[in-house]
Structure 1
């Protein structure tokens, strides 16, 4: 009876503990806060982390505004995707005279020829409107078709509040975008190595052409890239924009360590304020958030959570394969949070088609404070793996035995098969047992020990970061 009462009390205590834990978790979620960002002059602004798409700061990010020349980020991406660098662009009369003669130009004449590569530098560095027009004509045949391509590509990227009617961004009531959409477009463009290189170039030279005997010298308009007046550490690239209707628009990308931030400001009131706003917003992102490679923290746990009786499991499949998280996956969290604070969800795709090499069989995702803060694909590497070809071994032995039999005394099929199976059964059993012992040993050496090492390194970095935040420094 005493044992029964004790058991009941234990169950009640455990239940109350669970309730208290749930209540504490709910309270934590309710009081969970996101770092408060700075005030800016721009009417709309956003800071987005490039690898995850996480929004670190937002102000009117879905309201629509005229983008001006930051439109050329999407135009340049489309030109890169639909042409090759060496293609020759011949400038039409429309390209030269159908854009405002007082707008940004590099003085191209009708019939003059540039390569696509030269056009791209003219578009992204000097914001040349006639060059953008001509390159768009070259790619699509006419401006209307290129605008259709722009809107189609924007929708593929995930843009929700944009409409483009020209490639250069000169004023039109039907040409608009949002800070969020421009961040998405820039994030997509950064995946292209050609765009990324030109986007961060300070100066470029176009040699003499069929119409121009002198070299043209191009210079990036973005002051962070030029490192003049403003010098921001880690600047990757940027694009400026201005019209009387759009006012000042600016896209800037900066990277420190693995943390790469995209900052967009729209309808800022002055040239100086657009850079001041951008500096404050980027500082906010770098000072308040940290990025963690999921691969270093989760590979072991993902392997443990893989369904045991599946074709992915290395011990039950004939192929000894490996499961890990993608090295390109990252988790971004406020500095006030730790890795354990993020909620994790692991999803496996049971119907995933398995081919030789690398296969995506699932995804691991994280949320914090109701926001998606990162994720990574779960990979199954099916290449160059050792085999346990049971069928091949049994079949070979049977064939060898069959070749040694007397033709005058053909063996009884049933009795010979029974003998063969009986003879090899202990051998096969021993191989399987030995294999399991080997797998367990390798698991400890290759998985458990590195996991403990990674965990130790993580807590050490966390402790150092906390100590750095808590210390008071005197800068003399």
Structure 2
């Protein structure tokens, strides 16, 4: 697969630093250190707002979702499987089959960690189902002020929802996440919708605190849950298309009319920030993530010999290999396992079921197949009259036929 030209992100880089503050060691999770909550934060991002308290830890399902073996906290391998490849720094991971839902290999699968921007998979799974992709959204200063990685949305810019999803999934734009969540009723309402969908999918270790993946009080997911969320999102054709897209053009925005020195900001190309897409044969794409507290997070899929697998990594490091390289090693390992190898199962719950909590703040404008204005009412009235008349005619003909066939006395 050929490389891609990455546009310089105007306000922040999409990738974290390439150095690690600590030397690499393989994390040991045998004693379940993160069974109830993620590791302690290293900054103040999860401090509750004044007057609020941190949410309590999510309940731990019993028995474990996905099977008893997935209740373990160390490495979980199929019977007779070889040892794992060297150099996996992810504290937790899961490799699963996107089609059958079988979990092939895992480490601390239900341990709770922070998702960082991989939670955008859940945001996309919610929003793609309800937003009109052709609707034009006007960028705001609030979008432009979003914390963290931004794709470069500017006040007054005109963006279709399709372009916002491209920015969200390909370039991990937190400004795009803000513009999308605004259409779902704002951050608080969007987070509620995301958590409702996670619960419906049986992702019981997952609680979103922000739409974008920025750390917040109570934020949590697991390698198992992230596999489940990714599998459900992959049932959406546009999501599968976008994670596999290498580069698109993104619109610019007009000059600030209040600033005489400002000029129009031209559009520019944006590239997919997932290196596995370009470096791994059969890669389907995926989503990257990073915060100081979450460290490196990653989810992606690949296809080989008719099999589609997904890999999720949580609390990984860049040493001795980048997350996409660790993912590649785990995918190679899982693809080589014998047919039928399994240590558990993803549930088959689907977000396609109707949920009254997943609604759009303002219904999208969708082209109608009915004539507009009063003509539509007239046509509907004529149609109803013809239907009623037809029913009456059928009843009259049936009654006449019955009289003709009645035996004479």
| Common fold by TM > 0.5 | yes
Asked which structure has the greater CA Rg, the reply is 1
For residues 88 and 141 of structure 1, the distance between their equivalents in structure 2, rounded to whole angstroms, comes to 17
Superposition RMSD in Å: 2.6
Higher relative contact order (CA 8 A, sep 6+): 2
The answer to whether the 8 A contact 2:228-2:346 is kept is no
Structure 1 position 45 matched with structure 2 position 93:
yes
Structure 1 position 259 matched with structure 2 position 307:
yes
Structure 1 position 167 matched with structure 2 position 219:
no
Give the alignment of 1:284-299 within 5 angstroms: 284-290=333-339
Structure 1 position 276 matched with structure 2 position 325:
yes
Judging changes above 3 Å, is the alpha-carbon distance between structure 1 residues 34 and 148 closer, same or farther for their aligned structure 2 residues? farther
The CA deviation at 1:89 is 1.9
The answer to whether the 8 A contact 1:162-1:181 is kept is yes
Judging changes above 3 Å, is the alpha-carbon distance between structure 1 residues 269 and 208 closer, same or farther for their aligned structure 2 residues? closer
The answer to whether the 8 A contact 2:159-2:251 is kept is no
Structure 1 position 106 matched with structure 2 position 155:
no
CA deviations on 1:120-147 (whole Å, 9 max, x unpaired) are 0101111111111111111x22100000
Of 87, 99, 110 in structure 1, the residue corresponding to residue 135 of structure 2 is 87
For residues 94 and 345 of structure 2, the distance between their equivalents in structure 1, rounded to whole angstroms, comes to 16
The CA deviation at 1:275 is 2.4
Q: Which has the higher strand share?
A: 1
The CA deviation at 1:210 is 5.0
Structure 1 position 134 matched with structure 2 position 183:
no
1:64 matched to which residue of 2?
112
The answer to whether the 8 A contact 1:112-1:209 is kept is yes
Give the alignment of 1:149-188 within 5 angstroms: 149-188=193-232
The CA deviation at 1:87 is 1.1
For residues 264 and 170 of structure 1, the distance between their equivalents in structure 2, rounded to whole angstroms, comes to 18
> Match of 2:164, SS?
helix
For residues 88 and 104 of structure 1, the distance between their equivalents in structure 2, rounded to whole angstroms, comes to 22
Of 252, 269, 272 in structure 2, the residue corresponding to residue 217 of structure 1 is 269
Of 143, 148, 170 in structure 2, the residue corresponding to residue 125 of structure 1 is 170
1:191 matched to which residue of 2?
235
CA deviations on 1:71-90 (whole Å, 9 max, x unpaired) are 11111121211111111222
For residues 88 and 208 of structure 1, the distance between their equivalents in structure 2, rounded to whole angstroms, comes to 14
The answer to whether the 8 A contact 1:37-1:57 is kept is no
Judging changes above 3 Å, is the alpha-carbon distance between structure 1 residues 267 and 111 closer, same or farther for their aligned structure 2 residues? same
CA deviations on 1:246-300 (whole Å, 9 max, x unpaired) are 111111100113210010011111173412321121011111133xxxxxxxxxx
CA deviations on 1:397-445 (whole Å, 9 max, x unpaired) are xxxxxx9x9x9xx9xxxxxxxxxxxxxxxxxxxxxxxxxxxxxxxxxxx
> Match of 1:46, SS?
strand
2:52 matched to which residue of 1?
none
1:457 matched to which residue of 2?
none
CA deviations on 1:371-413 (whole Å, 9 max, x unpaired) are 56999xxxxxxxxxxxxxxxxxxxxxxxxxxx9x9x9xx9xxx
Judging changes above 3 Å, is the alpha-carbon distance between structure 1 residues 110 and 172 closer, same or farther for their aligned structure 2 residues? same
CA deviations on 1:13-51 (whole Å, 9 max, x unpaired) are xxxxxxxxxxxxxxxxxxx92524515211000001011
Structure 1 position 77 matched with structure 2 position 125:
yes
Of 232, 245, 252 in structure 1, the residue corresponding to residue 280 of structure 2 is 232
Give the TM-score of the pair, scaled to structure 2.
0.60
Judging changes above 3 Å, is the alpha-carbon distance between structure 1 residues 194 and 373 closer, same or farther for their aligned structure 2 residues? closer
For residues 152 and 90 of structure 2, the distance between their equivalents in structure 1, rounded to whole angstroms, comes to 32
For residues 334 and 289 of structure 2, the distance between their equivalents in structure 1, rounded to whole angstroms, comes to 23
Q: Which has the higher helix share?
A: 1
Of 274, 280, 290 in structure 2, the residue corresponding to residue 242 of structure 1 is 290
For residues 193 and 160 of structure 2, the distance between their equivalents in structure 1, rounded to whole angstroms, comes to 21
> Match of 1:281, SS?
helix
Q: Which runs of 5+ in 2 are unaligned?
A: 1-77, 256-263, 349-404
For residues 346 and 111 of structure 2, the distance between their equivalents in structure 1, rounded to whole angstroms, comes to 23
The answer to whether the 8 A contact 2:115-2:297 is kept is yes
